[in-house]
Structure 1
């Protein structure tokens, strides 16, 4: 197996961009005061991103995936992101097992 230099460069560049973005956010947040409204908005981002990534695939693959996407969305409104993801995985597994 050979490693293409362009592929390696792309991987290293994407890793650097990810790390710098995260570090930049940590540095800049020190200069920002976060009120209750901003905190609620920031807490809504992870479930929104999760649904934006999952929804297109989930809605065209089958009923088990659609059910899991709906369950994940409902749980994400009240519980932490990990609980929402775990619920979606469990629902799709059960739905597939029982033939949905």
Structure 2
């Protein structure tokens, strides 16, 4: 297997961009005064990202996926992200098993 230089540079650039965005977020948040409104907005980001990733597939695949997406959205409002994902996966598996 050979590694093309352009492929290597693309992967490297994506890795650098990922590290930069994560580190810059940690550095910049130190300079922001956290009030309740900002804290609420920041806490809403993970469920919003989860739904943005899941929704296109859920609505294009079938009823089991669509219902599991709704269950995941409801779970993500109160539970940690990993628990919400596990609930969503279990829901879609259960609904597929019963033939929906």
Q: Which residue of 2 aligns with 1:33?
A: 33
1:96, distance to aligned residue in structure 2 (A): 1.0
Q: Please report the TM-score for the alignment, with normalisation by the length of structure 1.
A: 0.95
Query: Hey, what's the Cα distance between the residues in 2 that align with 1:4 and 1:63?
Result: 43
What does 1:66-81 correspond to in 2, within 5 Å?
66-81=66-81
Tell me, what secondary structure is at the counterpart of 1:31?
coil
Query: Hey, what's the Cα distance between the residues in 1 that align with 2:95 and 2:5?
Result: 44
Describe the superposition over 1:24-73 as per-residue Cα deviations: whole angstroms up to 9, x where unpaired: 11111111111111001100000011101110111110111111101001
Segments of structure 1 that go 5 or more residues without pairing to the other structure are none
Number of equivalenced pairs? 100
Query: Hey, what's the Cα distance between the residues in 2 that align with 1:60 and 1:30?
Result: 41
What does 1:41-80 correspond to in 2, within 5 Å?
41-80=41-80
